[in-house]
Amino acid sequence: MATMNIIQAVNDGLRVAMRKDPRVVVLGEDVGKFGGVFRATLGLINEFGADRVIDTPLAEAGIIGAAIGMALYGLRPVPEIQFADFIYPAFDQIVNELAKYRYRSGGQYPCPVVIRTPYGGGIKGGHYHSQSPEAYFIHTAGLKVVCPSNPYDAKGLLLEAVAQDDPVLLFEPKRVYRASRGEVPEGEEFRVPFGKACVARAPRGQGTPMTIIAWGAMVHTCLEACALAAEAGLDPELIDLRSLSPFDEEALCESVKRTGRAVIVHEAPRTCGFGGELSATLQEQCFEFLEAPIQRVTGWDTPFPYTLEHAYLPDPGRILEACRAVASWS
């Protein structure tokens, strides 16, 4: 096992996928010699050549449109959208085309494209380098959406995505791209299954039980909040959702039925954020087990601010406040 950060794990995952399957190609802006603006594709062009690691024109609709064509014809394209904030020119290609191809063709044309894109704030990226647009895509029938919080899951989810016969969006938490480090089997193939959450902090059996649900970079913010919560006599179980569509309804409900309290945390704006769907699902499935109304801690319903980003993003203090609220509700 090697210790890697998320960038290195993604890079290793791409290398493993490309060595295993000659149909896998990578395309995007600056992914070739430069290795991508975050270096996730660094060195791939040396091993696999410029026709498998393709520097494209600067046009997201073209990147995804061409990737769709490649997939229809039998390749396994893994396009990179440089920042999730720039995915919107490709929105039509993703939502109306990629997501619908299998269905609208009566199953004649599956379209296995894996879109990788860094998302999220906390990096002084301002409005156009900080957004968390996952909900748009979770809302779209025909897309799978995953979001790792750590290097092991980043590689495992990427390899699972490439093995899928369905289109997948992989949102990579750029705030912790380098800060999150962990053991990852290097050069090997392993997969993290879709639709399975994991426990990022197990309850300790001391204090008021509750379930915190998060994904991506927010898992790390929630871990900080969990430490504060433990000091305050609370005992959260932190669930890292990992896979957003499909999501692990069973694991969430099992936990919330046990703890009776739920706090959902995400960076994206509150209104119609994925937390709303999770909250509604828990309310439907766990109503008689709930000790308190479900709390959401989210970005505000504003555009993502530059200077004031840490007032926008959920922080340990706000999460702790929500934990206290579910613990003390009566």
Catalytic residues: 129
Q: Which of 18, 25, 212, 327 binds other proteins (CB under 8 A)?
A: 25
93 sits near other proteins (criterion: CB under 8 A): yes
Asked if residues 146 and 243 have their Cβ atoms less than 8 Å apart, the reply is yes
Residues 6+ apart with CB under 8 A from 23: 74, 75, 76
How many C-beta neighbours within 10 Å does residue 74 have? Answer: 8
Asked if residues 226 and 181 have their Cβ atoms less than 8 Å apart, the reply is no
Which range, of 61-69, 121-129, 217-225, 320-328, touches other proteins by CB under 8 A? 61-69
Q: Reply yes or no: is the peptide bond before residue 246 cis, omega within 30 of 0.
A: yes
Within residues 187-216, the interface with other proteins by CB under 8 A covers 195
Which range, of 5-13, 98-106, 210-218, 255-263, touches other proteins by CB under 8 A? 98-106
Q: What's the min distance (Å) between Cβ of 58 and other proteins?
A: 10
137 sits near other proteins (criterion: CB under 8 A): no
Which range, of 114-122, 149-157, 220-228, 243-251, touches other proteins by CB under 8 A? 243-251
300 sits near other proteins (criterion: CB under 8 A): no
132 sits near other proteins (criterion: CB under 8 A): no
How many C-beta neighbours within 10 Å does residue 292 have? Answer: 16
27 SS3 class: strand
Rounded Cα gap, residues 317 and 329, in angstroms: 18
Q: Which of 29, 53, 137, 144 binds other proteins (CB under 8 A)?
A: 144
Q: What's the min distance (Å) between Cβ of 163 and other proteins?
A: 11
Asked if residues 152 and 200 have their Cβ atoms less than 8 Å apart, the reply is no
Asked if residues 251 and 281 have their Cβ atoms less than 8 Å apart, the reply is no
70 sits near other proteins (criterion: CB under 8 A): yes
Rounded Cα gap, residues 76 and 159, in angstroms: 12
Within residues 247-266, the interface with other proteins by CB under 8 A covers 249-250
101 sits near other proteins (criterion: CB under 8 A): yes
Taking the least distance from each CB to other proteins, the nearer of 224 and 277 is: 277
Helices (H), ranges, 212-273: 218-231, 249-259
Rounded Cα gap, residues 239 and 242, in angstroms: 9
Task: State phi, psi for 183 to the nearest 5 degrees.
Answer: -75, 130
161 sits near other proteins (criterion: CB under 8 A): no
Rounded Cα gap, residues 117 and 161, in angstroms: 13
Q: Which of 4, 31, 53, 68 binds other proteins (CB under 8 A)?
A: 68
Taking the least distance from each CB to other proteins, the nearer of 165 and 188 is: 165
Q: Which of 3, 105, 302, 328 binds other proteins (CB under 8 A)?
A: 105
Q: What is the binding site for other proteins (CB under 8 A)?
A: 25, 51-52, 56-57, 59, 61-62, 64-75, 77, 89, 92-93, 96-97, 100-110, 141-142, 144, 164-166, 195, 245-246, 249-250
